[in-house]
Amino acid sequence: MKSDTGIELGEQGIDLREQGIELGEQGSVGADTGIGGSERGMLLSKLPIA
């Protein structure tokens, strides 16, 4: 089942990357959010509006 979760995570990674590109076009920190959710969480915590 680990292989199945790996596939699901991979698909989510692609979706997150696409969303990151869209967010980047909107002027948000889309590039960083597309790279990894952990980095996104840290960036959001640094923003004045969380």
Q: What is the pLDDT of residues 3-41, one digit of tens each?
A: 555 555 556 665 666 665 555 555 545 445 554 555 555
Q: What is the C-alpha separation between 10 and 16, in angstroms, rounded? A: 10
Residue 1 reports pLDDT greater than 60: no
pTM: 0.18
CB hemisphere CA count around 49 (13 angstroms): 1
Torsions phi, psi of 28, nearest 5? Answer: -85, 175
pLDDT score recorded for residue 41: 56
pLDDT score recorded for residue 50: 47
Q: How far is CA 11 from CA 17, 34, 45, in A?
A: 10, 13, 26
Both tokens assigned to 11: 């698909």
